[in-house]
Amino acid sequence: MNMTFYKYQGTGNDFVIVDNRLQTINKNDTKRIARLCHRRFGIGADGYILLENDDNTDFKMVYYNADGNESTMCGNGGRCIVAFANFLGIIKNETTFVAIDGLHKAKIENGMVYLQMQDVSEIKSFDNHQFLDTGSPHHVEMVSGLANFEVKANGSKIRYGEPYNKEGSNVNFVEQLSDDNFAVRTYERGVEDETLSCGTGVTAVALAMHKSGKTKSENISLKTEGGELNVTFKSNDKGYKNIWLVGPAEQVFKGEIEW
């Protein structure tokens, strides 16, 4: 059977997206999905996403990492699937959809995709890092000389080490550029490499930087290797609410592959 796929990218975090509203896709072939995401033997992508029907919302997002395993929330993938749903005519400029971490509102305005993330009530602070879950688990660590930092080597050490071990964590290295602007480079679990951008990662960085007092702003710009993202939120003594991840999402090409 031939499968039609679409390639999307959001600030360089790239995804193969497939319309599975008719439930024609075999979802349990981990090796096949990993091969499809492979940059030499397949199409090449950081993740694979299925768009499916949902009874209560506009659609359902099912997300797999490049290693072929279904995983937790993907912020950039979430923005890309909103652009895809708009392209398919399933939604206009506003939507509510469901993903593994629950309901998400989203809108498209002036070519930017706004994705509402889950509220965050707990940020754990340690001597040299913070840890929080923004739909996916994130270790956040400030470093100096981010441009020349060995993200893959240092990220994988942290991802596989204590206390994360096999389940792992995504790892974000951060440098402050101004009061409300931070540069971020992320090692992604499930890709097991640095990606050009991570949506749940920059969301985690924005909240962690606010929590540690590095910024008082509730509208933060994040510079990733693949482009600029913005995170806005409201904070109070119970945590962070009304969190929005904002940035571009683009269809790159369409293709067919034997599946």
Helices (H), the chain: 30-37, 75-88, 151-160, 199-211
Cβ neighbors of 214 (< 8 A, separation 6 or more) are 142, 176, 182
Q: Is 33 helix (H, G, I), strand (E, B) or coil?
A: helix
CB count in 10 Å sphere of residue 57: 16
In contact, 197 and 236? CB cutoff 8 Å: no
Complex with ligand LBFN2T5F: residue 12 or 89, whichever CB lies closer: 12
- Of 15, 72, 36, nearest to 195 (Cα)? 15
Rounded least distance, CB 189 to ligand LBFN2T5F, Å: 5
For ligand LBFN2T5F, the closer CB: 28 or 89: 28
> Least distance from C-beta 27 to ligand LBFN2T5F, angstroms?
17
| 198 a catalytic residue | yes
Q: How far apart are CA 236 and CA 131, in angstroms?
A: 19
Peptide bond into 248 cis (omega under 30): no
Tell me whether residue 91 or residue 231 sits nearer to ligand LBFN2T5F (CB atom): 231
Which residue among 174, 198, 202, 204 is the active-site one?
A: 198
Annotated active-site residue in 36, 49, 74, 106: 74
Q: Rank residues 68 and 201 by Cβ distance to ligand LBFN2T5F and give the closer one.
A: 201
CB of 46 vs ligand LBFN2T5F, minimal distance in Å: 6
Q: Which spans of this chain sit near ligand LBFN2T5F (rule: CB under 6 A)?
A: 13, 46, 65, 71-72, 74-77, 136, 170, 188-190, 198-201
Q: Which is nearer to ligand LBFN2T5F, 46 or 58 (CB)?
A: 46
Binding residues for substrate: 13, 65, 75-76, 170, 188-189, 199-200
Annotation: binding site: 13, 65, 75-76, 170, 188-189, 199-200
Residue 27's H or E segment, with its range, is none
Structure tokens belonging to residue 86? 């708009």
Both tokens of residue 208? Answer: 């962690």
User: In terms of residues, how long is the chain?
Assistant: 259
The least CB distance from residue 90 to ligand LBFN2T5F, in Å, is 21
Q: Smallest distance, Å, CB 67 to ligand LBFN2T5F?
A: 9
As to burial, measured by CB atoms within 10 angstroms (0-12 exposed, 13-18 middle, 19+ buried), residue 216 is: exposed
Based on the residue annotation, tell me whether 74 is a catalytic residue of this protein.
yes
Catalytic residues: 74, 198
